[in-house]
Chain A
Amino acid sequence: MLVASHLECVRGERSLFRNLAFRLDEGELLYLQGRNGSGKTSLLRMLCGLLPPAAGEIRWKGETIGRLGEDYRRELCFLGHLNAIKEELTPLENLRASAKLADTPLDEDLALEALETLGLAGRADLACRYLSQGQKRRVALARLVHERKSLWLLDEPFVALDTAAVELVAGLIGAHLQRGGLAVLTTHQPVNIPAGTVRQLVLGSC
């Protein structure tokens, strides 16, 4: 499904990694690990197509992602380390706006249910600026509840979450993998995700 070969990442004048390769198939999870600045986020942005690799290529179902363009993005769900939520809007508005933008509109009931799952039941109508850091992260993660796109790229999804929420999100990712989805995530915390095949990629060592 997702195949990367000979990837090289150059930031400024430094080469962060080169000759990086991996393969990920249905139902598989890839953990990106490595110290700060080893290129985890850069690799994730390359996989999205935001950052063109200095060398090498990324293929999705046999076709390079550059050529697939919108067709690739239609199957992709990316969650950056920024939450991409608007402080002035309520969690409900944020969730529905981002779902519409991704061409997977949610009706109000489903959106409310998703927020409830993430423990934001009483906060759905409160502007996001009044929420705590962890609650804002939960708003961003609420997208995953009804997300059925096949490739999830998550940058530090567990940051700022309490243990209960971490378990919940791990469960969401697990369910996604069980449905035959793919997931790539970076994390510093050891999190137990129920998955068939877990691959690990440690950056900064190759």
Chain B
Amino acid sequence: MLNAVFSLIARDLRLGMRRQADIASVLFFFIIVVSLFPLGIGPEPDQLRRLAPGILWVAALLATMLSLPRLFADDHRDGTLEQLALSPQPLGLIVLGKVAAHWLVSGLPLTLLAPVLGLQFDLSSEALQALTLSLLIGTPALSGIGAIGAALTLGVRGGGVLLSLLILPLYIPVLIFGAGAVEATVTGVGAQAHLSLLGALTLAGVFFAPWPTAAALRIALE
């Protein structure tokens, strides 16, 4: 049963590799948004250091948002989604596979890129570590929760904007604990509590979100 899911992940990764431009444009969006902030608020290092966690996390949310509409849309358009829904695997499990593949091509690259961008904001090495760790733990939740929105807005007018409207409010807890972890490290409180809560959110998001997503996909296929 898991074989089919792994082969789905492998297929999605292979597709991602052959559409590298899509992955790259999401990453460059992330880079550009983060780089705009110092231009908007001024280059004082103290101020930048204080704002960095929030800015990097918000930019990561927006970049994820940008990649979500295509999570199911391509499969919907070419008929693959029907085949996914008709495969003998539970659809929730298949969604989990899609979410995992999405994280590997969007969440993970964002996480790897974040410390480099953190340097622009003069973050200390502990803060950079906390930033990377918080993104590593938190971004799977973004993919999982985002999948619900992607499925609900599948084939709907103005899907992309609507998707942000539905999903961004649900991202707030992830944002609070993710950015909070970095800030707690900077202020010396320690990020332990934030990271544990973030981990709990991710576990909940990754394991519960596939079921409403699967229900929404079935509705979209009717």
> Which residues of A come within 8 Å of B, CB atoms?
48-52, 70-71, 73-74, 76, 78, 80-89, 93, 97-98, 100-103, 105, 127
Q: Are A73 and B86 in contact (CB under 8 A)?
A: yes
17 further contact pairs, Cβ within 8 A, besides A48-B82, A86-B80, A103-B1: A50-B82, A50-B85, A73-B86, A73-B88, A80-B79, A80-B82, A85-B80, A88-B19, A89-B11, A89-B15, A98-B83, A101-B83, A101-B89, A102-B83, A102-B87, A103-B3, A103-B88
The 21 listed contacts between A and B (C-beta, < 8 Å) are A48-B82, A50-B82, A50-B86, A52-B222, A78-B86, A85-B80, A88-B18, A88-B19, A89-B15, A93-B11, A93-B14, A97-B7, A100-B3, A101-B8, A101-B84, A101-B87, A102-B83, A102-B87, A102-B88, A103-B1, A105-B3
Q: Are A74 and B88 in contact (CB under 8 A)?
A: yes
Chain B interface main SS type:
helix
- Residue numbers in B under 8 Å from A88 (CB-CB): 15, 18-19
CA A127 to CA B17, docked complex, whole Å: 14
Chain B interface size band reads 20 to 34
Closest approach, in angstroms, between the C-beta of A126 and any C-beta of chain B?
A: 13
Closest approach, in angstroms, between the C-beta of A72 and any C-beta of chain B?
A: 9
- Supposing A80-B82, A82-B79, A84-B80 touch, asked if A73 and B87 sit within 8 A by C-beta, the answer is yes
Counting from the closest, the 7 A-B pairs by CB-CB distance are A82-B79, A84-B79, A100-B7, A74-B88, A88-B18, A97-B11, A84-B80
Closest approach, in angstroms, between the C-beta of A97 and any C-beta of chain B?
A: 5
Q: Chain B, 164-192, contact with A by CB distance < 8 Å: what is the 0/1 string? A: 00000000000000000000000000000
Chain A interface main SS type:
loop
CA A88 to CA B21, docked complex, whole Å: 13
The chain B residue sitting closest to A143, CB to CB, is: B83
CA A50 to CA B78, docked complex, whole Å: 16
CA A101 to CA B86, docked complex, whole Å: 9
Q: Are A103 and B90 in contact (CB under 8 A)?
A: no
- Residue numbers in A under 8 Å from B14 (CB-CB): 89, 93
The chain A residue sitting closest to B84, CB to CB, is: A101
Q: Are B88 and A50 in contact (CB under 8 A)?
A: no
Closest approach, in angstroms, between the C-beta of B97 and any C-beta of chain A?
A: 10
Complex partner residue of A83 from B78, B89, B222, CB under 8 angstroms: B78
Closest approach, in angstroms, between the C-beta of B75 and any C-beta of chain A?
A: 9
The chain A residue sitting closest to B10, CB to CB, is: A97
- Residue numbers in A under 8 Å from B7 (CB-CB): 97, 100-101, 105
The chain B residue sitting closest to A72, CB to CB, is: B88
Complex partner residue of A100 from B4, B80, B85, B86, CB under 8 angstroms: B4
The chain A residue sitting closest to B7, CB to CB, is: A100
Q: Are B83 and A78 in contact (CB under 8 A)?
A: yes
Q: Are B82 and A70 in contact (CB under 8 A)?
A: no
Complex partner residue of B88 from A70, A81, A83, A89, CB under 8 angstroms: A70
- Supposing A74-B88, A101-B7, A103-B4 touch, asked if A84 and B83 sit within 8 A by C-beta, the answer is yes
The chain B residue sitting closest to A128, CB to CB, is: B78
B162 within 8 A of A: no
- Residue numbers in B under 8 Å from A76 (CB-CB): 86
Q: Are A82 and B78 in contact (CB under 8 A)?
A: yes
- Supposing A100-B7, A101-B7 touch, asked if A84 and B78 sit within 8 A by C-beta, the answer is yes
- Residue numbers in A under 8 Å from B78 (CB-CB): 82-87
